[in-house]
Amino acid sequence: MEPIGFFLKGGPVGCLLIHGFTGSPLEMRGLGDFLQEKGLTVSIPLLAGHGATPEDLNRVRWQGWVAQVEDALAELRGQCETVFVAGLSLGSLLTLHLAAQHADIRGIAIYSPATRVANRFFWLLPVARYLVKQWPKESEERDDLNLQANSRVWHYDSYPTSGANELRKFQQVVRRELGRVRVPAIVFYSTGDKMIHPEAGPCTFEKLGSADKELVTLHNSGHNLVVDSERESIFARTYGFIVSHLG
């Protein structure tokens, strides 16, 4: 399938789904189809710099991603009475940022929060971006624990360095905003995730300002939770979270 954005028309409850860094809306399509079948309207935008060539990601700024999801949220609000937001990895940062700015979002679902990453050289990106344009992903970063998961995704096989530095800068912004997030939240992370820091899930959960929040720990998935072996339970728990917060 082509890496394009999707708008899946449903009922008056909407959900904005945001994909991860170097990924595409395809990785969120399974969840989107599931929610649409339950009667929701679903928006899955293609983030700038994604869906074409890795070099495109070296020409974007994090503020551009924010502007895109703000527009997508406004469009969804124009058609739905109630809106939820959910995001994976980079999408989790954008979800948290939206929640910090918009207290009327009904709830958020966070998958593999990228508030801290496992790569110990991440802090070198401000300098490295002048020396290296991109670096290849390791095999464990390209493949989820469930090998069939690769048929459900489209992503770049390398990390554009300047684009990754924009993620790093945005990560710092979002970490400072966690206490301002007050909307209901459910956070999913896996102990098998090699991309984010092992404490990223628990720390993100702990620092959220939300009084109504839930942490879900998985053990049989890689970084891309929504396409891996536990995806069906994640879909069900996400929908259950939405239903329980419709008021």
Q: Share the mean pLDDT of the chain.
A: 90
Which residue among the candidates 24, 50, 193, 210 is catalytic per the annotation? 193
Whether residue 167 is predicted with pLDDT greater than 50 in this model: the reply is: yes
Active site residue 223: yes
Alpha carbon separation from 205 to 45, 85, 217 (Å, rounded): 25, 16, 11
Mean pLDDT along residues 82-107:
98
Which residue among the candidates 24, 197, 223, 229 is catalytic per the annotation? 223
Q: Are 123 and 200 in contact (CB under 8 A)?
A: no
Active site residue 104: no
Whether residue 141 is predicted with pLDDT greater than 60 in this model: the reply is: no
pLDDT at 114: 95
Q: Which residues have C-beta within 8 Å of that of residue 245, sequence separation ≥ 6?
A: 84, 106, 107, 184, 212
Mean pLDDT along residues 86-113:
98
Active site residue 193: yes
- Between 93 and 123, whose confidence is greater? 93
Give the DSSP letter of residue 220.
S
Task: For residue 169, count other CB atoms closer than 10 A to its CB.
Answer: 14
The structural domains of the chain, ordered by start, are 6-244 (3.40.50.1820)
The H-or-E segment that residue 123 falls in is none
Q: Give the whole-number percent of the chain exceeding pLDDT 90.
A: 72
How confident is the model over 180-223, as pLDDT tens digits?
Answer: 999 999 999 999 998 899 999 999 999 999 999 999 999 999 99
Q: Which residues have C-beta within 8 Å of that of residue 147, sequence separation ≥ 6?
A: none
Which residue among the candidates 24, 43, 89, 229 is catalytic per the annotation? 89
- Between 121 and 220, whose confidence is greater? 220
pTM of the predicted protein model: 0.92
In whole angstroms, give the CA distance from residue 176 to residue 92. 14
Q: Are 240 and 214 in contact (CB under 8 A)?
A: no
Please tell me whether residue 216 adopts helix, strand or coil conformation. strand
